[in-house]
Amino acid sequence: MNKIFSVYNKLYFHFGPQHWWPVTEKGNFHPTYSGGPKNEKQQLEVCFGSILAQNTSWKNAEKVIVELNKHSLFDVKKIIKIGAKKLAQIIRSSGYHNQKAKKLKNFCDFLLNKYDGKLNLLFKNDIAELRKQLLSVNGIGPETADSIILYAAKKPIFVIDAYAKRIANRLGYKEQRYDELQNLFMENLPNSEKLFNEYHALLVELGKDICKKKPLCGKCPINRYCSYYKSK
DNA sequence: TACCAGGTCCTCG
DNA sequence: CGAGGACATGGT
């Protein structure tokens, strides 16, 4: 078994399944980890959430999900209709709220103009075309696009975020660019949406509490695979 | 107080 | 291309 796969098994054994992506169940305002989206409203939540979480703690993004639920704003046409300033105020606690208000509007404009406002039409594209389409939206970069593909469309692609990059580099891999890191993971794993979903979530769990900027290597379940740890 | 958190865009060599 | 700056709130 290759090292990338061994690391996954070790993390899964240590932390258990993560039940990503968090979405809001009917009747609630707060999203929960219940195994990902099961309808189009929840899929839209994943899309908005992946934009709102850009370079921000999930806690801050989550506050905004709650606010958007209260205002019934998981609705493409309503996002287009509401004023940018008003939307920015509502999503304030996610940080970069002025930019993110525009990004949400850009995404909804794109969806309405090209796909009749329907995610299920957008998601009918194959992965390569879907990614290309998402990247054409100003405000959606590679990580956000891949998060939407994996967690909203539930198609197999590996998401690289700051945690994945930091952990891979500490493990000893030299890759720096997004696509190089993505290839590293995808070439060493079976092409499985379920696996990519869990693995990325597990990397977040490790990166958040253990493999931090100042890492707590003593607590790390994969330190025996880690060149950073070995070199200390 | 300073630093960090589930990035992306724009500008400039 | 790649580096560097701007964007901003909330938690420790």
Protein-to-nucleotide distance from the CA of A212 to the C1' of B1, whole angstroms: 21
What pLDDT was estimated at residue A62? Answer: 98
- Measured CA to C1', the nucleotide nearest A92 is C9
* Sequence ranges of the domains in chain A: 3-18+158-230, 38-152
Mean pLDDT of chain A: 97
Q: Cα(A231)–Cα(A119) distance, rounded to whole angstroms?
A: 47
Chain C: nucleotides below 7 Å from protein CB are 2, 7-11
What pLDDT was estimated at residue A177? Answer: 94
Predicted confidence band of residue A187 (pLDDT cuts 50, 70, 90): very high
Protein-to-nucleotide distance from the CA of A108 to the C1' of B12, whole angstroms: 32
Question: What are the distances in angstroms from CA A149 to CA A70, A95, A136?
Answer: 26, 24, 14
**pLDDT tens-place string over residues A8-64:** 999 999 999 999 999 999 999 999 999 999 999 999 999 999 999 999 999 999 999
N-term to C-term CA, chain A: 26
**pLDDT tens-place string over residues A61-86:** 999 999 999 999 999 999 999 999 99
Protein-to-nucleotide distance from the CA of A127 to the C1' of C1, whole angstroms: 26
- Measured CA to C1', the nucleotide nearest A96 is C8
DSSP H or E segment with residue A22: none
Averaged pLDDT for residues A155-179: 96
Protein-to-nucleotide distance from the CA of A56 to the C1' of C9, whole angstroms: 9
Q: Which residues are in reach of strand B, CB within 7 A? A: A 20-22, 49-50, 53-60, 95-96, 99, 137-145, 147, 151, 161-163, 204, 207-208, 212-213
CATH of A3-18+158-230, one of 3.30.565.10, 3.40.1410.10, 3.40.50.720, 1.10.1670.10: 1.10.1670.10
Protein-to-nucleotide distance from the CA of A38 to the C1' of C5, whole angstroms: 40
Averaged pLDDT for residues A147-165: 97
What pLDDT was estimated at residue A169? Answer: 95
Protein-to-nucleotide distance from the CA of A227 to the C1' of B6, whole angstroms: 24
What pLDDT was estimated at residue A21? Answer: 97
Averaged pLDDT for residues A81-94: 98
Amino acid A93 reads S
pLDDT at A161 over 80: yes
Answer whether CATH 1.10.340.30 is correct for domain A38-152. yes
Q: Which residues are in reach of strand C, CB within 7 A? A: A 55-57, 59-60, 63, 92-93, 95-100, 177
Predicted confidence band of residue A232 (pLDDT cuts 50, 70, 90): confident
CB-count exposure of residue A228 (10 Å: 0-12, 13-18, 19+): middle
- Measured CA to C1', the nucleotide nearest A22 is B6
- Token pair listed for A163: 């945690």
DSSP string, A175-209: --SHHHHHHHHHHTS---HHHHHHHHHHHHHHHHH
What pLDDT was estimated at residue A1? Answer: 79
Nearest residue to nucleotide C2, by CA–C1' distance, is A177
CB A131 within 8 A of CB A146: yes
- Measured CA to C1', the nucleotide nearest A59 is C10
